[in-house]
């Protein structure tokens, strides 16, 4: 009814210029009709930052030639004037990072509320930004989405119902699942492989149900062509003042490309209704733009032989027309993204320093959040949340903004983090702070960068001989191994009560020393330790590295033999490095291969370099027939021309055998490699020296000798794994050129990649993974490229030293993996590990339930995870026996989102978190 009313009123107020046209004369030129209902609205795509900083885009103070008129405050002010002048026009807004600060200073708030209530201004997506979907962690996506949604609910008492993320370079299944959990059962996307799009037009599946492994289904509208102005060419024509039959015929000639888009959209859609939104970066901030669109709408309303019925509409109104349809199902994702004859994959890896910093800052926020909740210390976290949410923008964590812009985002995060640290204790405590000893400041080891440590901490400086360190574990898993940087070799670790820690060791390399110690720290707990520098016989044992193997002269000799054409004998040798660590050395030709055996597991690692065989300059784009779109770093380099760059020539091991197994490898002038053999896995730390790097791509390849039958998986935003096959896609046949071997088969990872069911590799930041060679998993860690001509105007090359961390976990098969989900055996502590008798055995004896319980003031927080495929009903009597208190449920979260009902039902693979209020009268 609303749509009919809008169309009726609108059709009675045709523009005077259009009214002068004779429909009969104009219709004589019509060759075919479109026969569709056009649901039309406007929008402006607002990059949170890219070529300018966030503040510059907001205030209009930037100076770059592409976005020199970008000013979101100006845009929204002009938008309100236009919506007042055109009472039937509609508009949609998405990015709350700009809309919120504008609204809070806008004088006529009642008008804004009224057009939102009327449906003329629709808030779609509603996140702080439109986030990247390749490298952003699902926890950070939820953070930035919730930040916007909470403000929208508080301010307008609505919840967005339509997801809208149109400029991310590819789309993830996890994002769709998160949209579902946030209440958005419809969504709009754009950047999809062009071959997939044309296939979907043929299959009538531009609109489809996107299903996650958990069974969440979201009705998805895929736009045939990327967003842009209503007309890519000729929009100024409609701002002219000419009129009459000639004007109308010229106008329809201008609309040919637009009508072709509508035709394809209709062919690929579910009904005769077609949705189209006009708008480009920072567009439509005055009445002139609206008037141009009104003229075009009037043309179709007046010249009816085209059989296009224009309706000012909104996404919500459009999706209502798709009710009771039968769309096809999509289960995978949309990576890698292919457009303009190129795979856009370089952004998985570009600007790795920023990617790592965002991961670090996100962990700090989570830690501060939990620590504040448990201790009652109020911290100013709002600004830190906003800055980390801002970094999730697709040009942020995607690494595709200008370097000075990334630096600005990082600076904003750091300032917000420092404010929280100062509030924690302005005089003596720093989060991830500095340890002061004898007037020398030395950085405490940052566990957030170290997945095997997985803790964050604060510390107190009491005197020059003793430092008290408070370590807080923000995860639900317990932690055993810790590392702290030491300014002295004479030190030892004690518990907070003064008891000496049994397993501890000071490990020195060059001028740096670390103390490593073992102590069990349960999840969501803190524990105080003492570092004493006043020791003689009690000092922790010191272990230094010594050169164990030096092949540098031998390699040089072999190269001379090879160049002289002399034969080189193959070599196979074995060496025992530690009691449970063995090394095999194989030589074929001049190449050495090192294989390590630890706890009967064999693996080798190699480092590869792929020189830039493609375009690294703007010249490539100048040769093409189309104009380069303002875009991103795109291409990885030619896989077939890659080669081994790292030949290990030196190996160092610890002088004394101990419980901590560690070796260091040298590889020419480019790599320093640290391999740590732990109980649960193997950690590889790679230091890249930028002075030896050339333009191209750099990767680390793991080869697993005992992996025979496996499947390759990569994560979906760090949440659940997606199965990958080389040269294959779920819905279409991809296009490959001879140089696309790497580009077309690399997939983004936020946290891990797998060779299921045996091997998982964890990463310390977003990267790209592929498995082209049998029994290998390859992680691309650095992408050096020239200016790709995609609008940034600078090369993808910032030569700074990087330290990359990867952990290899050898997993036992788990039933949950067959459901396309993931469970690390060593990282889940289930209730059955602690409660296996009597009352609790009946409930959790099948090992399908994992419970985590911790106190919080007068409440208990209970996290219950169903690891099986059948619904589990929690027994409240069991919970009362565990916590020894009577309680009542005051709240519940289902997978991080507020649950609709407070019951004890936990569906298959669901995670439910309960707030249990304790009956204090029992005390």
Taking only the tens place, the pLDDT of each residue in 618-627 is 333 333 333 3
- pLDDT value of residue 865: 72
Minimum mean pLDDT among 181-190, 433-442, 451-460, 752-761: which range? 433-442
- pLDDT value of residue 82: 92
Band of pLDDT at residue 826, cut at 50, 70 and 90 = very low
Asked if 745 contacts 790 with a C-beta cutoff of 8 angstroms, the reply is no
State yes or no: pLDDT of 860 exceeds 60: yes
Nearest alpha carbon to residue 444 among 454, 457, 435: 435
Band of pLDDT at residue 857, cut at 50, 70 and 90 = low
State yes or no: pLDDT of 408 exceeds 90: yes
State yes or no: pLDDT of 543 exceeds 80: yes
CA distances from 543 to 442, 481, 540, 767 (A): 20, 17, 10, 34
- pLDDT value of residue 446: 44
CA distance 229 to 42: 9
The pLDDT mean for the chain works out to 80
Give the pair of three-digit tokens for residue 392.
């999730």
State yes or no: pLDDT of 834 exceeds 60: no
- pLDDT value of residue 221: 98
- pLDDT value of residue 812: 53
Band of pLDDT at residue 434, cut at 50, 70 and 90 = very low
- pLDDT value of residue 452: 46
Give the pair of three-digit tokens for residue 448.
């957030």
- pLDDT value of residue 852: 67
Q: What is the H or E stretch that residue 855 is in? A: strand 849-856
**Section 867-896 average pLDDT:** 72
Ranked by mean pLDDT, the top range of 29-43, 73-87, 862-876 is 73-87
Ranked by mean pLDDT, the top range of 147-156, 426-435, 814-823 is 147-156
- pLDDT value of residue 41: 93
- pLDDT value of residue 637: 66
Q: Which residues pair with 704 in a beta bridge?
A: 603
**Section 24-41 average pLDDT:** 85
**Section 189-206 average pLDDT:** 95
State yes or no: pLDDT of 636 exceeds 70: no
**Section 714-721 average pLDDT:** 91
- pLDDT value of residue 591: 79
**Section 359-368 average pLDDT:** 84
Nearest alpha carbon to residue 162 among 136, 142, 144, 189: 189
Max Cα separation, the chain? Answer: 104
Stronger pLDDT, 241 or 749, i.e. the higher one:
749
- pLDDT value of residue 114: 97
**DSSP label of 281:** B
State yes or no: pLDDT of 790 exceeds 50: yes
CA distance 568 to 553: 15
- pLDDT value of residue 633: 44
Asked if 791 contacts 66 with a C-beta cutoff of 8 angstroms, the reply is yes
**Section 416-420 average pLDDT:** 88
Minimum mean pLDDT among 114-128, 207-221, 568-582: which range? 568-582
Asked if 543 contacts 506 with a C-beta cutoff of 8 angstroms, the reply is yes
**Section 752-765 average pLDDT:** 88
Question: Coil, strand or helix: which one is 808?
Answer: strand
- pLDDT value of residue 192: 94
Band of pLDDT at residue 629, cut at 50, 70 and 90 = very low
- pLDDT value of residue 627: 34
State yes or no: pLDDT of 439 exceeds 50: no
CA distance 350 to 337: 16
504-509 vs 542-550, strand pairing mode: parallel
CA distance 146 to 392: 13
What pLDDT, in 10s, does the model give residues 485-525? Answer: 787 888 899 887 788 888 899 999 888 888 888 887 766 67
- pLDDT value of residue 888: 80
Q: What is the H or E stretch that residue 77 is in? A: helix 72-85
- pLDDT value of residue 832: 31
- pLDDT value of residue 639: 65
Give the pair of three-digit tokens for residue 450.
């170290």
- pLDDT value of residue 397: 95
Asked if 400 contacts 350 with a C-beta cutoff of 8 angstroms, the reply is yes
**Section 764-783 average pLDDT:** 93
What pLDDT, in 10s, does the model give residues 654-685? Answer: 998 887 889 999 987 778 999 999 876 888 99
Question: Coil, strand or helix: which one is 33?
Answer: coil
Give the pair of three-digit tokens for residue 654.
């610890």
**Section 466-494 average pLDDT:** 76
State yes or no: pLDDT of 634 exceeds 70: no
Asked if 248 contacts 185 with a C-beta cutoff of 8 angstroms, the reply is no
Nearest alpha carbon to residue 165 among 128, 115, 194: 128
Give the whole-number percent of the chain exceeding pLDDT 90: 39
- pLDDT value of residue 690: 81
Give the whole-number percent of the chain exceeding pLDDT 70: 79
Nearest alpha carbon to residue 607 among 684, 517, 553, 516: 684
What pLDDT, in 10s, does the model give residues 260-308? Answer: 899 999 999 999 999 999 888 887 667 777 887 888 888 888 888 889 9
State yes or no: pLDDT of 449 exceeds 60: no
Asked if 238 contacts 15 with a C-beta cutoff of 8 angstroms, the reply is no
CA distance 54 to 66: 15
- pLDDT value of residue 290: 83
- pLDDT value of residue 233: 39
CA distance 885 to 629: 63
CA distance 589 to 569: 7
- pLDDT value of residue 179: 94
Helix axes 256-268, 245-254, angle to 10 degrees: 50
761: which residues sit within 8 A by CB, 6+ positions away? 702, 752, 753, 754, 769, 777, 779, 806, 807, 808, 809
Asked if 629 contacts 791 with a C-beta cutoff of 8 angstroms, the reply is yes
**Section 426-431 average pLDDT:** 40
């Amino acid at each position: 009814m609303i749509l009919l009313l809008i169309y009726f009123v609108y059709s009675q107020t045709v523009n005077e210029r259009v009214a002068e046209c004779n429909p009969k004369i104009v219709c004589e030129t019509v060759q075919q009709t479109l026969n569709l209902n056009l649901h039309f609205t406007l929008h402006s795509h607002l990059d949170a930052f890219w070529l300018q900083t966030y503040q510059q885009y907001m205030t209009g103070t930037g100076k770059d030639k592409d976005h020199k008129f970008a000013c979101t405050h100006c845009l929204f002010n002009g938008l309100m004037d236009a919506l007042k002048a055109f009472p039937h026009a509609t508009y949609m807004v998405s990015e709350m990072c700009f809309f919120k600060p504008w609204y809070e200073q806008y004088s006529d708030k009642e008008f804004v509320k009224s057009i939102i209530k009327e449906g003329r201004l629709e808030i779609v997506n509603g996140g702080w930004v439109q986030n990247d979907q390749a490298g952003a962690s699902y926890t950070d996506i939820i953070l930035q989405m919730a930040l916007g949604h909470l403000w929208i609910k508080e301010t307008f008492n609505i919840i967005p119902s339509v997801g809208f993320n149109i400029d991310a370079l590819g789309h993830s299944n996890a994002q769709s699942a998160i949209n579902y959990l946030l209440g958005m059962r419809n969504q709009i996307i754009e950047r999809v492989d062009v071959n997939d799009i044309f296939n979907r037009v043929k299959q009538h599946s531009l609109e489809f149900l996107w299903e996650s492994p958990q069974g969440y289904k979201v009705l998805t509208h895929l736009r045939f062509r990327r967003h842009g102005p209503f007309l890519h060419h000729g929009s100024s024509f409609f701002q002219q003042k000419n009129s009459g039959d000639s004007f109308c015929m010229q106008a329809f000639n201008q609309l040919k490309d637009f009508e072709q888009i509508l035709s394809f959209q209709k062919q690929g859609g579910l009904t005769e209704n077609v949705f189209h939104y006009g708008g480009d970066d920072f567009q439509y901030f005055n009445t002139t733009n609206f008037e141009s669109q009104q003229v075009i709408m009037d043309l179709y309303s007046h010249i009816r032989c085209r059989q296009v019925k224009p309706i000012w509409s909104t996404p919500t109104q459009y999706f209502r027309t798709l009710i009771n349809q039968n769309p096809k199902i999509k289960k995978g994702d949309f990576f890698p993204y292919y457009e303009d004859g190129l795979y856009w994959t370089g952004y998985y890896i570009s600007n790795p320093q920023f990617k790592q910093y965002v991961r670090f800052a996100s962990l700090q926020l989570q830690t501060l959040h939990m620590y504040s909740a448990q201790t009652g210390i109020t911290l100013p976290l709002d600004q830190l949340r906003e800055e980390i949410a801002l970094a999730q923008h697709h040009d942020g964590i995607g690494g595709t903004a200008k370097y000075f812009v990334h630096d600005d985002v990082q600076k904003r995060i750091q300032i917000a983090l420092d404010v929280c640290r100062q509030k924690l204790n302005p005089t003596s405590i720093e989060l991830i702070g500095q340890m002061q000893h004898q007037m020398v400041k030395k950085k405490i080891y940052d566990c957030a960068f170290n997945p095997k440590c997985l803790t964050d901490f604060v510390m107190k400086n009491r005197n020059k001989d003793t430092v008290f360190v408070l370590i807080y574990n923000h995860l639900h898993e317990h932690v055993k191994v810790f590392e702290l940087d030491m300014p002295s070799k004479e030190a030892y670790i004690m518990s907070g009560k003064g008891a000496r820690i049994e397993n501890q060791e000071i490990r020195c390399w060059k001028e740096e020393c670390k103390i490593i110690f073992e102590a069990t720290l349960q999840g969501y707990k803190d524990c105080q330790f003492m570092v004493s520098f006043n020791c003689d016989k009690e000092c922790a044992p010191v272990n230094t590295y010594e050169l164990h193997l030096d092949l540098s002269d031998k390699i040089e000799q072999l190269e001379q033999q090879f160049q002289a054409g002399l034969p080189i004998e193959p070599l196979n040798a074995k060496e025992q490095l530690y009691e449970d660590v063995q090394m095999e050395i194989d030589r074929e030709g001049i190449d050495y291969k090192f294989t390590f055996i630890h706890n009967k597991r064999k693996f080798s690692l190699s480092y590869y370099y792929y020189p830039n065989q493609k375009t690294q300059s703007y010249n490539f784009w100048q040769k093409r027939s189309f104009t380069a779109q303002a875009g991103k770093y795109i291409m990885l380099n030619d896989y077939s021309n890659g080669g081994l760059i790292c030949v290990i020539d030196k190996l160092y091991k610890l002088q004394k055998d101990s419980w901590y197994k560690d070796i260091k490898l040298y590889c020419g002038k480019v790599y320093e490699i640290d391999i740590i053999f732990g109980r649960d896995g193997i950690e590889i730390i790679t230091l890249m020296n930028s002075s030896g790097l050339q333009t191209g791509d750099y990767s680390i390849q793991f080869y697993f000798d005992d992996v025979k039958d496996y499947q390759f998986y990569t994560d979906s935003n760090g949440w659940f794994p997606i199965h990958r096959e080389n040269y294959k896609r779920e819905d279409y046949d991809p296009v490959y050129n001879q140089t696309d071997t790497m580009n077309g088969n690399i997939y983004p990872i936020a946290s891990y990649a797998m060779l299921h069911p045996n091997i998982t590799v964890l990463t310390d930041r977003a990267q790209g993974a592929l498995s082209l060679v049998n029994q290998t998993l390859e992680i691309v860690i650095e992408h050096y490229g020239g200016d790709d001509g995609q609008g940034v105007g600078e090369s993808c090359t910032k030569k700074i030293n990087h330290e990359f961390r990867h952990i290899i976990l050898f997993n036992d098969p788990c039933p949950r993996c067959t459901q396309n989900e993931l469970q690390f055996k060593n990282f889940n502590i289930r209730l059955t590990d602690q409660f296996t008798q009597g009352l609790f055995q009946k409930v959790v004896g099948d090992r399908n339930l994992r419970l985590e319980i911790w106190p919080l003031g007068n409440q208990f927080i209970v996290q219950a995870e169903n690891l099986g495929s059948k619904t589990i009903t929690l027994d409240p009597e069991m919970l009362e026996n565990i916590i020894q208190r009577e309680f009542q449920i005051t709240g519940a979260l289902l997978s991080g989102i507020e649950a609709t009902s407070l019951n004890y039902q936990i569906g298959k693979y669901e995670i439910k978190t309960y707030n249990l209020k304790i009956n204090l009268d029992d005390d």
